[in-house]
Chains A and B, each alone.
Chain A
Amino acid sequence: MSSYEARFRVWRGDIEGGGLKDFEVEVNDGEVVLDIVHRLQATQAPDLAVRWNCKAGKCGSCSAEINGRPRLLCMTRMSVFDREETITVTPLRAFPVIRDLVTDVGFNYRKAWEIPAFVPPEGVGPGEYRMFQEDVDRSQEFRKCIECFLCQDTCHVVRDHEENKTAFAGPRFLMRVAELDMHPLDAAEESGLDRGRTAQDEHGLGYCNITKCCTEVCPEGIKITDNALIPLKERAVDRKYDPLVWLGSKIRRRSS
């Protein structure tokens, strides 16, 4: 096993201020950035705050920015960097910092709360749900989300414009709207809730300019833009901007 000394710059501080601190730290074969952050805690900075849990890319806790790119600390191998390179680790820059690498991601939970939940179909009890695989494929892709919030962090709509946080749900929660709107048993429409329309009117879908950063950073490889956001935009067009679709739905409703 070979090892070397890597140069790290880690942001230390809190809401009052802070800065990048330099470290030299041992790196061994097969390690990931989170291992190095833990070594820093063990050897040089015992009070370094970092949020982590599973070390397997499934809990979504250790989101941070490595060399300016939103990534999971536990899924970023040290072998992808040059040994001479200085590796910069900062907290997520779209959210308020709490301390060191830990940010307050409460914005996301508030947005999650604003999305109306799955509406159970009438007359079908628990345990009686039956669906065809081809009908749930689309929603199941979105269920892979581990809620690391890297997509929320990288989305320039809120990252660069704090004032948009009120109006814009962000890619993760627009994807949640898409997941429910494509769910074969969701009875929102029957209950008077038009998810396609609310995506535009209440969750700020129009702010998305589909520059695909959310897709680029997703550690689960979910095609957020192509499979959730753009289909949702097309559904909003059906409801709001396409008179032919509107006319067709009126005629169908009248004849049924």
Chain B
Amino acid sequence: MATGTEPSPTDHRPPSGVRGAGRAAIAAPHLRTDRWWLAPAATAAGLLAFIVYSTWRAFANADYYAAPYVSPFFSPCLAENCQSMRSGPNWELFGGWWGLSPAILILIFPLGFRLTCYYYRKAYYRGFWASPPACAVAEPHRKYTGETRFPLILQNIHRYFFYAAILVAGILTYDTVLAFRDEHYAWGHMGLGTLVFLVNIALIWAYTISCHSCRHIVGGQLKHFSRHPVRYRAWRFVGKLNAHHMLLAWVSLVSVSLADFYVYLVASGVFDDPRFF
């Protein structure tokens, strides 16, 4: 956990960092009096809850389709062992040899996108790795090389996950359109699930588009905005969204889990999807 940066009583190594030679002689690793541990602890708890939930759902490999809704954790379904979804996102690219849950095949991409996301990096470096646990709170590690070496140098492939996330968001948009059918696949209907999917896809797009890599690609890489007015406008728009990237990261994480949970409840027969029309 992010707390507990006091040196252990058996630690006989020479002091370093803020307690190192030349620095003001203060034994405490930090002098903060506020509840600095609350934010990393809450972050770690939130991320752990999502990891536990998504692992259970991905490996359970059941109750992910209740016509016309397909869980976002299983879309697109790329293996032969997928449940058949009428006009749904069934693409058996992996054929019949894949015996595990098909969710694993697709979750790699959105998870990779979030894992290398600039906001989530801050969140888990602070929350799980205590590097640092909070600002001006000494970290417990003796050595630090940041993102200069393997494996963390791989964080630089974030933009490729961004490209993949665009494709996944496109497929989830298609799923949302399909949600305007009823359980007999007749078009022009809407249920509570459709609303859940609509909110989810809006948040997924907002989070995806607000990505720092997106901001760079649409215009941030330019030296002269004045020569590229369209890209400048796009950069400003993404910049406005980007200012809320942390918020969007969390709400989209919750919304995608809720969308999946809704499908689980309907598919497992806990309740019937209320239909608006």
Contact = CB atoms under 8 A, between A and B. Distances in A.
Nearest to A89: B31
B126 interface: yes
Nearest to A66: B31
B86 interface: no
Nearest to A133: B226
Contacts, number: 157
Interface of A, helix, strand, loop or mixed by DSSP: mixed
Interface in B206-241: 212-213, 215-216, 220-221, 223-226, 232
Contact of B26 (A90, A159, A217): A90
B247 to A, nearest CB: 14
Given A161-B143, A164-B144, 12 more contacts: A11-B24, A68-B137, A69-B32, A91-B24, A94-B23, A154-B136, A159-B136, A160-B141, A184-B226, A207-B148, A234-B216, A235-B216
Nearest to B154: A241
Nearest to A236: B156
A46 to B, nearest CB: 21
Interface stretch (B12-20, B181-189, B266-274): B12-20
B121 A13 contact: no
B156 A213 contact: no
B212 A65 contact: no
Contact of B24 (A97, A132, A204): A97
A184 B132 contact: no
Interface residues of A, number: 59
A160 B18 contact: yes
B118 interface: yes
B147 A162 contact: no
A67 B243 CA distance: 29
A133 to B, nearest CB: 9
Contacts of B18: 93-94, 159-160
B32 A68 contact: yes
A81 to B, nearest CB: 9
B216 A231 contact: yes
Contact of A209 (B24, B131, B221): B131
Given A65-B31, A206-B148, A93 B23 contact: yes
